[in-house]
Structure 1
Amino acid sequence: MEKVERGADALDYAPCNYGASRLICRGPRCDLDGDDYIAVLGGIETFGQFVERPYPARLEAALGMPCINLAAVNSGPDAWMGDQTVMDLARGARLTVIAVPGAHMLRNKFYTVHSRRNDRVVRQSEFMRRVFPELDLSQNFFVRHLLNDLFEASERRFAVVRDELQKLWVTRMNQLTARIGGDVILVWIGDRSPDDPTDTVCDGDPPFVTRAMLRSLRGRIRATIEVLDQSSTMEEALEGKHFAPDERDAALRVPGPRAHQNIADALRDAIAPLIGDEPDILSQLAQRTA
């Protein structure tokens, strides 16, 4: 099993994997019995880095139904669909929640990403070198760094890369929901709305995903929940997070406990009618476990 790096003051994430899966998920491991559970796919936000109780755990307490957190740090559609165990668990769930991933962490005709850590570049194509012949990209090991360099070299040529990623995102997400087969709820977690501009990876998360792209998705998508980061100060952004001093910048970029609770509340309200539970009972459970 790969090591999950933690600072001295960080939480114990009880990292685990399921079956033959090589994705390291947030623990503790969920014991499943039958198909009466909810599967949650996502990346670092859903994993809940620096947060004691991520939203899948809060949702489980509110619904009284197991919610298996299949999120792995910096994973995306390529990692999920490349892991048969994760796909089997999602396909067997009563419902699957997918945190909307950015479009930047997809293998494409310009570069290939790591099979599990989709934020890491493992190969750049000859086509990339032909489009950007003036750049030495041999030291660009992370997707965001690579894309920033491409944008600075040429906005016009970078637009070709961005368009490719956006088209691929729609294709891969449709493949993902088709393979899951059952009901899906999308949850948008970020610091920008799907209606905001997203020309570069610096324009906010999830990068390059637009409202039009969300509307292009097929499958049994029952709802799309949007939860934006409302932190207005650095103190608010760090409130309730556990991190070491050298992890401060990383901690600023992920949702805190308040955001996780807001996500869990919104998902509870969307899921309750689908699983047939009474809203007043769910509300009482949520108040007890908040």
Structure 2
Amino acid sequence: MDMRPVAGSELEYFPCRYGASKLVFRGPQKRLQGDYVVVLGGTETYGRFVEDPYPELLEEATGCEMVNLGYPNAGIDVFLSDETVIAAAKGARLVILQVPGALNLSNRFYTVHARRNDRFLRATPMLQAVFPEVDFTEFNFTRHLVGALAARAPERFALIRDELRKVWVARMNLLSATIDRKVLLAWIGTRRADEPAEALDDGGPAFVTRRMIDRLRGRIVDMVEVPFRPVEPSEDMVYGEAERGAARLLPGADTHRRLAEALAPQVLETLRRDATQSFSVSSGTTVKRSPTRP
């Protein structure tokens, strides 16, 4: 099939919903029964502009059913507030979570839309006090807001960046505890976790650092990193001419392939260990456990 980008080309995403959720995910729709793995993430996990996103490639590589619950521009809040997503994750054998940036979540300085987390809704009195000269009605998106505030007063903006990082760690830990399943992190960004993340143009996931990853608790198994560089859209992406700018910011099919290849052995090993532990417990074999605390 000729996958070269041409004006007016369209890609079929087979949009679907699960249960009572108002979120529209990429299909084909899967049955949330039996053994399956849930993949949570944003636009990259959804697989915009690519025919075969990494959850689908990962299903082919592992033989495990992957339920793609990637949602465009999703922050942590959209998953925490959706009972259907939480139930699907609770029923999975494993959850793969694309590491989200720290922009699209409500905090003490601003609130975001409940489903479209990239939408800025309102500034809190605290933000208005820090930036009294700013007219916040001019902003509709979190990236526009954060970029403008950082450019206006870097020292004052540092207060907001620190808040975003604290809230991000707290919400990620809450999500992990809520779904109560082993979580494998997928880092998809234009830099590595060890590289600087002080400014928006440092690359995504925005403002997230290795130190923040190290503060995550719960049942985090590991993290797979697959960085990519934003370049002209690759020939294996499908988009209309008006979408060229958006396509340039997203990973192409090669990045999705590399991510699936990196995740596959981790997924299989985690599921193997889980099955072994379950067998040991059910068969009466002694299993080493941490000492019980009073």
Q: Give TM-score scaled by structure 1 length.
A: 0.89
Which position in structure 1 is the counterpart of 2:199?
200
1:9-158 paired onto structure 2 within 5 Å:
9-34=9-34, 36-158=35-157
**Deviation of residue 61 (structure 1)?**
1.2
Which position in structure 2 is the counterpart of 1:176?
175
Which position in structure 1 is the counterpart of 2:276?
none
> After the TM superposition, which of the residue ranges 265-274 and 41-50 deviates more from structure 2?
265-274
**Deviation of residue 32 (structure 1)?**
3.2
* Matched AA of 1:134: E
Separation (CA, whole Å) in 2 of partners of 1:211 and 1:37: 29
Separation (CA, whole Å) in 1 of partners of 2:98 and 2:45: 7
Q: Which runs of 5+ in 2 are unaligned?
A: 1-6, 274-294
Q: Among 255, 258, 272, which residue is 2:254 paired with?
A: 258
Cα deviation digits, residues 52-88 of structure 1 (max 9, x gap): 0100011111111210001110112100000000000
Separation (CA, whole Å) in 2 of partners of 1:264 and 1:223: 15
Separation (CA, whole Å) in 2 of partners of 1:165 and 1:269: 33
Separation (CA, whole Å) in 2 of partners of 1:254 and 1:215: 26
**Deviation of residue 126 (structure 1)?**
1.7
Which position in structure 2 is the counterpart of 1:285?
none
Separation (CA, whole Å) in 1 of partners of 2:33 and 2:127: 48
Separation (CA, whole Å) in 1 of partners of 2:150 and 2:32: 46
**Deviation of residue 135 (structure 1)?**
1.2
* Matched AA of 1:196: E
Identity percentage of aligned residues: 46
**Deviation of residue 31 (structure 1)?**
2.1
Which position in structure 1 is the counterpart of 2:291?
none
Cα deviation digits, residues 10-30 of structure 1 (max 9, x gap): 201111110001111111111
Q: CA RMSD in A?
A: 1.3
* Matched AA of 1:218: R
> After the TM superposition, which of the residue ranges 257-266 and 122-131 deviates more from structure 2?
122-131
* Matched AA of 2:141: F
Asked if structure 2 preserves the Cα contact closer than 8 Å seen for 1:39 and 1:96, the reply is: yes
Which position in structure 2 is the counterpart of 1:249?
245
**Deviation of residue 33 (structure 1)?**
2.5
Which position in structure 2 is the counterpart of 1:239?
235
**Deviation of residue 230 (structure 1)?**
4.9
**Deviation of residue 134 (structure 1)?**
1.0
**Deviation of residue 40 (structure 1)?**
0.3
> After the TM superposition, which of the residue ranges 205-214 and 192-201 deviates more from structure 2?
192-201
Which position in structure 2 is the counterpart of 1:287?
none
Q: Give TM-score scaled by structure 2 length.
A: 0.88
Larger radius of gyration: 2
